[in-house]
Amino acid sequence: MNRISRMAFLVAALAMAGHAAAQVTLYERDGFQGRSFTTNEDVKNLGREGFNDRSSSVAVRGDRSDRWEVCEDRRFRGRCVVLRRGDYPSLTAMGLNDRVSSVRAVSRNARVDDDRYAPMPPPVETSQAVFYEKEGFKGKSFTADEPLGDLRRSGFNDRASSVVVTGERWEVCQDTRFKGRCAVLRPGQYASLAAIGLGDRISSVRSLSDAVRIDDDRYAPMPRPAQVSQIVFYEFEGFQGRSFTTDEPVGDFRRSGFNNRASSAVVRGERWEVCDQAGYFGRCAVLRPGQYGSLAAMGLNDRVSSVRTVNGSARVNDDRYAPPPVAVTDYGRRPNERVFEGTITSVRAVLEDSGQRCWVEREQVVQERNAPNVPGALIGALIGGVLGHQVGGGRGKDVATGVGAITGAVIGAHAGGSTGDPQASTQNVQRCSSSPGQARPAYWDVTYVFRGIEHRVQMATPPGASVPVNEQGEPRV
């Protein structure tokens, strides 16, 4: 084969590979249910495939520029509609339900009149794999959203120790060009690739469409579900009053009706930055995942006007962080996890001091030398617990489930020195306010039994007759 012939063959092969990336899947029923037929080439007569006049929903895959034409008669005749990349859960709206007889790809250079297009489909979820240099999603990271046959070109060859997969499944291989030992990863979080024998050994990666059939022995063990990142603000301290939840940036709280109203917060997933002015300006603090029973300690009580997530790989100076929160244990229900009921056997309300709340502030003071040491401030107890959960028990009562944490901290005083001139310094000072009223429960200490074993949990509101649990007896939201 001469050089010109080889070049022509290569060009043809590349063109075929590009065309193969585009595909259409026809489903027998609405919502992508029932039997399906997938093709990456033109089909003049679906009757030969046993799928004539049987399509009720369609999924178009490929690049953003890939389009497919579906027609109600053979050989692309009769009423035809052009479908962009995306998911079409029903063909009824375009008058082609159970009436498609032929399909073909539309050339990327072909001009199509607007009236030939079907209505825009919902956006297709982005499929990507984020690889991390160290286990537990730490260190440098590299994001892949397209097939990569050789990771040496990206500088990440044999360096991946953990990965987060979103969208479609991804195949990871220890050799270039998808050879050697390979494993298929479902969407989710893989905190250690060593568990599947591929820690620091991945050289090529690629996504796999839903239409590709995979044998069970090619899959990696089921991953931990991708963690949802969100922040919940409460109107009062101690996670009381009205609440506002978001999983996306909010540049101006006035649009949500919660501007300058937040007094406590619960953070899950990633870190979040909260600011006292709209547009992420003014005084800001970064909150780690956990529970913040009072925002007063960071000077943001009733002053939060904007909030946004902080990327997991972003570096944050220590002085930007809020004081450490109470850790939140993940009691969220896992996919396909069965939930049972633990029978509550006793409930004990633990009361807080009547009408008193305390917080800690930094304050500049002037001390005479030889003055007695200033006592450290005592941070009051901070009640933990997973908040607001709907429980059955026949009456659908609101119950907050989860293991609580009671945290106390004594901050040491600044010691005095020898005699001399007055000296200015800063120290932690406890502030307290009191208001008349009766003592109220701070939390409820609950004992429950599941499969003959006794468990305890602390709840933020009175419980019902039972607690939802998993097979191990752990509380489940």
Q: Which helix (H) or strand (E) holds 3?
A: helix 3-20
Q: Would you state the pLDDT for residue 81?
A: 94
Q: Would you state the pLDDT for residue 385?
A: 37
Query: Closest by alpha carbon to 205, among 235, 250, 175?
Result: 175
Q: Using the CB atoms, write b or e for 377-389: b if 16+ within 10 Å.
A: bebbbbbbbbbbb
Cα–Cα separations (whole angstroms), residue 140 to 121, 155, 163, 247, 371: 36, 11, 12, 24, 51
Q: Would you state the pLDDT for residue 216?
A: 87
Phi/psi zone of residue 203: left (φ > 0), alpha (ψ -120 to 50 degrees), beta?
alpha
Q: How far apart are CA 264 and CA 242, in angstroms?
A: 11
Q: Would you state the pLDDT for residue 325?
A: 73
Cα–Cα separations (whole angstroms), residue 11 to 62, 66, 67, 233, 388: 20, 19, 22, 58, 60
Q: What six digits make up the tokens of 200?
A: 């620091």
Q: Would you state the pLDDT for residue 255?
A: 82
User: Chain-wide mean pLDDT for the chain?
Assistant: 75
Q: How far apart are CA 290 and CA 309, in angstroms?
A: 14
Q: Would you state the pLDDT for residue 23?
A: 86
The set of residues, in sequence order, having a beta carbon less than 8 Å from that of 216 and lying 6+ positions away, is none
Low-confidence ranges of the chain (pLDDT < 50): 1-20, 328, 354, 360, 362, 368-420
Q: Would you state the pLDDT for residue 370?
A: 46
In 352-405, where do the E strands start and end?
356-367, 378-383, 389-390, 398-399
The set of residues, in sequence order, having a beta carbon less than 8 Å from that of 178 and lying 6+ positions away, is 149, 171, 204, 206
Residue type, 47: G
Query: Closest by alpha carbon to 39, among 52, 26, 54, 55?
Result: 26
Bridge-based pairing state of the strands 23-29 and 57-61: antiparallel
pLDDT in tens, 241-276: 788 888 889 999 988 889 999 999 888 878 999 999
Query: Nearest 5 degrees, angle CA 347-CA 353-CA 358?
Result: 125
List phi, psi (to 5°) of 322.
-75, 165
Q: Would you state the pLDDT for residue 1?
A: 43
Q: What six digits make up the tokens of 138?
A: 């730490």
Q: Would you state the pLDDT for residue 248?
A: 86
Residue that the structure tokens 């990142």 belong to = 229
Q: Would you state the pLDDT for residue 125?
A: 56
Query: Closest by alpha carbon to 233, among 201, 205, 272?
Result: 272
Domains of the chain: 20-116 (2.60.20.10), 128-218 (2.60.20.10), 230-320 (2.60.20.10), 340-362+379-405+432-469 (no CATH)
